[in-house]
Structures are given as C-alpha cells and as structure tokens.
Amino acid sequence: MHYKNIAVLFLFLILLNIVVSEENTSSEDQNTTVENLTSNETNETAVIPKQQVEIEEILLKNFIPKEFKLGDAQFSIQVQNNKNETINNVVAFVSGKGFSTYEITSIESLEPGERGYILINGNFKESGLINLTIKINQKISLQEINVLGKSEEDLKKAEVLVKQEEEKKKALADISSKLEILKQNYSELEAQLAQKEKENYDVKSVILVDLKKYIRETQASILGDHLEDARVNFGLATEESNALEEKIASLKKVSFTKRFKDQVIIFSSIAGAIITMFALYELLKKKGKEAATSAATTIGSIKQKAEKKEEQKEPPQETEIKKEEEEKKEEPDKKEEGKKPKKKKKEKRKK
C-alpha cells in the first residue's frame, strides 16, 4: 500500500507539471501575440505620419473677407513661404459659380517663412453660399463665401459691410502714414549704425533684420486689407525700432587692445594664407620637376629598349646574308659535278 501511494503521488505531480507547463506556454503565446500586435500598431503609427506629412511649398493662411455684395468685389489671399529659399511671382487663380476674375495682383517675392497677400478683383453675379476654387502652384484649395442678395436682411448686412469697409480703410490709411515715419526711422538707424562702426564702436549686438521683416509684413497687410495683421506687425515693428534706438545709444567703443588683437588675428590669417600659397607653389614646382625627370627617365628607358630590340633583330639578317654567300659558293661545285659524268660517256665511246 505504501508503494501504491507513492506511485499515485508521483503520477499526480507529473500531471500537475504538465498542466502548469501548458498554462505557461499559453500565457507566453498570448504575450507574444500582444507584443506582435503592439509592434504592428507602432509600426503602423510610425508609417502613417510619413505618408501623411507632405511638405508644402506655399501655405494658404487666410482669406479676407468672406462676405460680399453682388457686383464688383476685392479680396486677398494670405500665403506663407514654407521653403528654405526665396520664391518669386506667387499667383493665385480663383474660380467659382457666378464669379469672374478681371485683375490679379501677385506677390513679387517671398523670403523663407515670410507671409504675403495676393489681391483678387472680380465680380459676383449670383448670391448665396459659393465655393471658390483657389489654385496656387498646382495646389487646389476650397473656400466657402457668402454673397449677399437683394432681400431686406441681405441689404441691411450690405450696409453694415459698407460701414465696416470705410472704417477699415481709415484705420489702414492711418497705419500706412505711421509706417512711412517708421521707414524713415529705419534708414536713420542704418546711417547711425554705419557711423558708429566707423568710429570703432562695437555694433555686433545691433541687428536690423527683424525690424526690416516687420516693416515688410506691415506693408503687405495694408495692401491685403488685413487690419488685424497690420496692427500686430506695426506694433512689433515699433517695439523693435525703439529697442534698436536704445541699443545704439548704449554702444561702447572698442578698446585699443581689442582692436589691436583683432588686427593681429586678421594679419595672421592673411599671412597664413600667403604662406600656404607659397608652400603650395613650391610643392607644385617640386612635383613638376619630379614629373619632368621621371618622364625623361621613362623616355630614356623606352629608347634603350627600342635599341635593344633592333640589336636583337640584326643577327638574323647577318645569318641570312651568310647563307646566301654559302649558296653562291656551292652553285659552281654543283655545276662541275654535273659535267663529270658526260666525260665518262665519251671515253666509253672511244673504246
């Protein structure tokens, strides 16, 4: 009985190990499937952005306004240069139901990251919601607009639009006059900076690039009838101009020792360049001489080889001459041998 209990216990342990191993394998399979799924999902998510991300050269940023009256109308399309280089002659072609274009004012040039406005003058002959198709450099975009009709509500909205347009034009004219003053300040800052540089002031911290950019964007916003952008860009340009004036006023002269060090550095760089040029010249000269000597040696060796070949060719000619002379000597002997039998015949006849 004792042995039977041990055998039963042993079988029970074996069965328990089998069941545990099967559960472990099933759990491992589930984990591997989950890991495969997650890896596939991550791969898909890694691939999707690559497919979706398309670098656009020109971005359409805004369309102003979006509500018009029947008849003649003007609107602007704000675009941004998304390339790393300047683009020129940016044009937009607009079409839609009941709309016809009769004048397009393109953007002459856009620097990297810069925004500009394309002006469109046209005519609306139909009222209601209209989808305009905008094509810029082979890229097509849609813009929904509202053209007011002749109903009472639309006529009231049209009156409001006229008042808003008048107020906007006054505000833009005010910003435009202030911008002219800011342009004069910019030219004065340039002259001051040049004068300070001549007087040995440290002008490295004063950079006028941002101010020039804000002035250009303000001017573009005024041309595009975008009052909000014009106000923002003009405010940034004014702040930058004031900051530059303060920087120029607080500039300090460069000390004599620093100027001397800068001049020494410049002189050493120039001297180093001259020395390297002379070293290159000498090196090329040596290489030229070596090339000439090597060419002379190669030519001499070629001549020697040619002479040796000619010498090797001469002995066969001498042997041929010797053979000819020997043949000539042998010919009279052969003739004499041919004549001797005839004498014997004559002797026989006499007998």
- pLDDT by residue (tens digit) across 286-300? 777 666 677 667 666
Residue 95's φ and ψ, nearest 5 degrees, are: -140, 155
Q: Which helix (H) or strand (E) holds 100?
A: strand 99-105
pLDDT means per 10 residues in the chain (351 residues)? Answer: 54 54 48 44 40 64 90 91 89 92 90 89 92 90 90 88 89 94 93 88 88 91 89 94 91 66 60 70 71 67 66 54 61 53 46 40
The whole-angstrom separation of Cα 179 and Cα 185 is 10
Q: Which helix (H) or strand (E) holds 123?
A: strand 115-124
Tokens of 95: 């079409």
The whole-angstrom separation of Cα 142 and Cα 104 is 18
The confidence score (pLDDT) of residue 203 equals 84
Q: How far is CA 109 from CA 20, 91, 106, 116, 211, in A?
A: 75, 11, 9, 9, 18
**Helix (H/G/I), strand (E/B), else coil: 147:** strand
Backbone Cα Rg of the chain: 50
Would strands 99-105 and 115-124 be described as parallel, antiparallel, or unpaired?
antiparallel
CATH number assigned to the domain covering 58-149: 2.60.40.10
As beta bridge partners, residue 136 has 139
DSSP state of 66: -
Of the candidates 217, 239, 241, the one whose C-alpha atom is nearest the C-alpha of residue 228 is 217
The confidence score (pLDDT) of residue 231 equals 93
Q: How many CB atoms lie within 10 A of CB 219?
A: 21
SS3 content of the chain, % helix, strand, coil (to 5): 65, 20, 15
The whole-angstrom separation of Cα 35 and Cα 207 is 55
